[in-house]
Amino acid sequence: MSAVLDAGTAGAASAAIPTPHRSIATEAAPAVPAAPTVAIVLLGTGVVGGALLKLLNTPAAARVRLVGAANSRRQQTSAARLASRSLREQLNNQGDVRDNAALLAALDHSGAAARVIIDATASTALASQHAQWLARGYHVVTANKALAGGELAGWRALQAATANGGRYGDAATVGAGLPVLSTLRRLRLCGDSLLTLEGVFSGSLSWLFNQYDGKTPFSALLREARRLGYTEPDPRSDLSGDDVARKLLIIARNAGFALGSDEVVVEGLVPEVLRELDTGTFLERLQELDAPLAARHAEAASRGCVLRFLARLNQRGHARVGLVEVPGTHPAARLSGTDNQFALTTTRYNAQPLVIQGPGAGPEITAQALLGDVLALS
Ligand SMILES: NC(=O)c1ccc[n+]([C@@H]2O[C@H](COP(=O)([O-])OP(=O)(O)OC[C@H]3O[C@@H](n4cnc5c(N)ncnc54)[C@H](OP(=O)(O)O)[C@@H]3O)[C@@H](O)[C@H]2O)c1
């Protein structure tokens, strides 16, 4: 990462990206490192944002310059402070008050050919600004699903904004960068179309049901998953199925199904009585999840099946998320760890689905997906 402002290119900011200058090494004029071509502002310095800050300090990010960083309370635009290895910690008690306009100004003054806002938050308020930023000539790279996987009007605004040349890097929103959205776009470019989609889109729910054998109580597994950092601090965020529904919406919309957020049927795992509790009380009452799930498991096992938390989209655009019995021969029955799985049946991948599978959560790979989208702009 470079956090040093380079002179000579100020005012050249534009959505168009020039071919990088290549210097030819001669005795008279030794090669000099090429100037950074991408200026970025990082919103969110939590688990994913923190991992991205580390990646920015590697040679892979040599052409990327960090000109601003923020958490929910503070921000920093000073080049010297942005270059600090303890930037993330410093933002907890040092820096300017939050003001997006100052961060955008830092991008404008960077002189870089491409100006990118990276959203590594889960903030709906920030996501609602993605389309405006794109319309103003910034590129947006995001791990935040709240716009593309939110209300249909937001998705439509996003489509309109990207039609003007702004690029929307969304690899990190689904499968933590597994090549799902890029593959889908490539297939569509070739005239192929998605017919059905099925899979396990949540690392935490994958792990829980890959482990669950009906003997260890589900609540004990859930506590373990939380301890390992596989779930959110409040595991209801995972168990509700809402995050899986957002990912299903993002894939379906990218495949041409203009689904509203209320068109995904979500069968969550949190009983009504546990939904409104504070986190601490919910965690004390986790064992209330055990009996219903044990009954579902026993029924499935009596038919030679296992339980998996699946997302499904059928050919008529019906979308559903929830717990499903699958036979041992089903691809999802053979998953392990926190793996995600996306099985795409298309016009041309028809006899057998195209299956994309692998780790679908984790800060390093998610940060890498963000960096990959940034580098694609240079
Ligand atoms: N963790 C993963 O493996 C993973 C994988 C794929 C996608 N994601 C997605 O990546 C995003 C970030 O996840 P995470 O695990 O890094 O979450 P996290 O650890 O909770 O971090 C969220 C960060 O966002 C900041 N933030 C919130 N509102 C903000 C605002 N208005 N302006 C600037 N910063 C703001 C928070 O600031 P404070 O510290 O001040 O609260 C915090 O630094 C989420 O959308 C998540 O769904 C995560």
Cβ-based neighbour number of residue 350 at 10 Å:
12
Nearest partner of 172 among 135, 122, 134, 125, judged by Cα: 122
247 is catalytic: yes
Nearest partner of 179 among 344, 338, 347, judged by Cα: 344
Residue 147: domain span: 38-178+364-375
Within a domain: residue 166?
Answer: yes
Within a domain: residue 229?
Answer: yes
Residue of the CA atom closest to atom 9 of ligand 1: 143
Q: Is 47 in the pocket of ligand 1 (CB under 6 A)?
A: yes
Residue of the CA atom closest to atom 32 of ligand 1: 72
Q: Is 366 in the pocket of ligand 1 (CB under 6 A)?
A: yes
Residue 330 and residue 233 share a domain: yes
Within a domain: residue 30?
Answer: no
Q: Is 72 in the pocket of ligand 1 (CB under 6 A)?
A: yes
Residue from 40, 41, 48 whose mutation best tests the ligand 1 pocket (most atoms within 8 A of CB): 48
State in Å: Cα 98 to ligand 1 middle. 15
Q: Is 143 in the pocket of ligand 1 (CB under 6 A)?
A: yes
State in Å: Cα 298 to ligand 1 middle. 38
Q: How far apart are CA 367 and CA 360, in angstroms?
A: 12
Q: How far apart are CA 142 and CA 246, in angstroms?
A: 14
What burial class does residue 342 get, using C-beta atoms within 10 Å of its C-beta: 0-12 exposed, 13-18 middle, 19+ buried?
buried
Residue of the CA atom closest to atom 8 of ligand 1: 143
What burial class does residue 324 get, using C-beta atoms within 10 Å of its C-beta: 0-12 exposed, 13-18 middle, 19+ buried?
buried
* Long-range contacts at 207-214 (CB < 8 A, ≥ 24 apart): 207/337, 207/338, 208/309, 209/306, 209/307, 209/308, 209/309, 209/323, 210/335, 210/336, 210/337, 210/339, 212/293, 212/297, 212/307, 213/297, 214/294, 214/297, 214/298, 214/301
Residue 218 and residue 318 share a domain: yes
Q: How far apart are CA 231 and CA 350, in angstroms?
A: 35
CB 368 within 8 A of CB 178: no
Residue 152 and residue 194 share a domain: no
Q: How far apart are CA 188 and CA 166, in angstroms?
A: 20
At residue 363's C-alpha, the angle toward residues 324 and 184, to 5°, is: 55
Residue 168 and residue 223 share a domain: no
Within a domain: residue 27?
Answer: no
Residue of the CA atom closest to atom 35 of ligand 1: 72
Within a domain: residue 29?
Answer: no
- The CATH number covering residue 368 comes to 3.40.50.720
Residue 307's φ and ψ, nearest 5 degrees, are: -95, 135
Residue 216 and residue 147 share a domain: no
pLDDT of residue 86: 95
Q: Is 123 in the pocket of ligand 1 (CB under 6 A)?
A: yes
State in Å: Cα 57 to ligand 1 middle. 20
Residue from 40, 43, 47 whose mutation best tests the ligand 1 pocket (most atoms within 8 A of CB): 47
DSSP run (H or E) holding 184:
helix 181-189
Q: Is 71 in the pocket of ligand 1 (CB under 6 A)?
A: yes
CB 242 within 8 A of CB 264: no
Residue 202 and residue 106 share a domain: no
As given in the structure block, the two tokens for residue 149 are 């996987």
Residue 51 and residue 90 share a domain: yes
Handedness of CA 164, 133, 3, 78 (dihedral sign): positive
Residue 203 and residue 147 share a domain: no
In tens digits, what is the pLDDT along the chain, a chain of 378 residues?
444 333 333 333 333 333 333 333 334 444 544 556 899 999 999 999 999 999 999 999 999 999 999 999 999 999 999 999 999 999 999 999 999 999 999 999 999 999 999 999 999 999 999 999 999 999 999 999 999 999 999 999 999 999 878 899 999 999 999 999 999 999 999 999 999 999 999 999 999 999 999 999 999 999 999 998 899 889 999 999 999 999 999 999 999 999 999 999 999 999 999 999 999 999 999 999 999 999 999 999 999 999 999 999 999 999 999 999 999 999 999 999 999 999 999 999 999 999 999 998 899 999 999 999 999 998
State in Å: Cα 139 to ligand 1 middle. 19
Number of domains in the chain: 2
Within a domain: residue 345?
Answer: yes
Residue 350 and residue 253 share a domain: yes
Within a domain: residue 239?
Answer: yes
The pairing of beta strand 319-327 with beta strand 264-266? parallel
- The CATH number covering residue 305 comes to 3.30.360.10
CB 65 within 8 A of CB 36: yes
At residue 253's C-alpha, the angle toward residues 145 and 137, to 5°, is: 60
Residue 174 and residue 234 share a domain: no
Within a domain: residue 49?
Answer: yes
Single pTM value for the model = 0.90
Residue 241 and residue 354 share a domain: yes
Residue 157 and residue 123 share a domain: yes
State in Å: Cα 126 to ligand 1 middle. 11
- Which ligand 1 atom lies nearest to the CA of residue 173? 7
State in Å: Cα 123 to ligand 1 middle. 8
Cβ-based neighbour number of residue 198 at 10 Å:
25
- Which ligand 1 atom lies nearest to the CA of residue 123? 28
